[in-house]
Amino acid sequence: MTQEKNGEGPALESPQDFTYVDDGFERLWTPHRMVYINGERPTDHAGDGCPFCAVIGRADGEGLIVHRGQSCYVVMNLFPYNPGHVLICPYRHVSLYVDLTDEETLEFGILTKASIAALEASSSPMGYNIGINQGAVAGAGVRAHLHQHVVPRWSGDSNFLPIIAQTKALPMLLEDVRQRLVQAWPPE
């Protein structure tokens, strides 16, 4: 409970007024992530609830789309592990890699290579993590719509923050990184 202090407005609450056990952890409060946590969950059907289906109808800048192909597209990850973390997605709402047509599979691979080329030209990573998580038990956050992660890596990008504080410091805004990738995208 706060009290007025000499008519200057509410006084700050003392932490001594609460039950407190020092566990050695600092807390970085990120209430903005509740939008993601409490957001609509993807369904098994295309349309409402699937962020990868929803983004297709938006302008590239608004949807953070880096490149649109014939059957697949590249989009920035809203919750990146590193600056430049992109996702390759088919337009078609499928959940498994084996459900892609041969044409989609080919473009999926071509866009993976083009993403790496654009990342090389725009930010010179020292390595990459490339992978697909299929199913909830494999770590897929959006399990109903196939997507592949391309995460650029640099020496020292996993400093003490993610290891001891489960916090990631990202030095660039998503739109700034998207613009760099669009400008560095290889010609077709």
What is the per-residue pLDDT for 165? 58
Quote the percentage of the chain above a pLDDT of 70.
68
What is the per-residue pLDDT for 162? 57
Q: Which two tokens stand for residue 47?
A: 């349309």
Q: How many residues are listed for the chain in this entry?
A: 188
Query: For the CA atoms of 36, 77, 59, 51, what is the dihedral angle to 10 degrees?
Result: -40
Distance CA 104, CA 122 (A): 26
List pLDDT tens digits, range 3-41. 455 556 566 666 556 555 666 655 555 665 555 556 544
What Å distances lie between residue 153 and 41, 84, 128, 129, 158, CA to CA? 29, 9, 5, 7, 9
pTM score, whole prediction: 0.70
Q: Is 147 a catalytic residue?
A: yes
SS3 at position 87: strand
pLDDT, greater one: 47 or 79: 79
Please name the CATH architecture into which domain 21-184 falls: 2-Layer Sandwich (3.30)
Which one is catalytic: 67, 85, 93, 147?
147
Close Cβ partners of 3 (under 8 Å, ≥ 6 residues apart)? 10, 11
Please check whether residue 49 is in contact with residue 164, taking contact to mean a CB–CB distance below 8 angstroms: no
What is the per-residue pLDDT for 42? 44
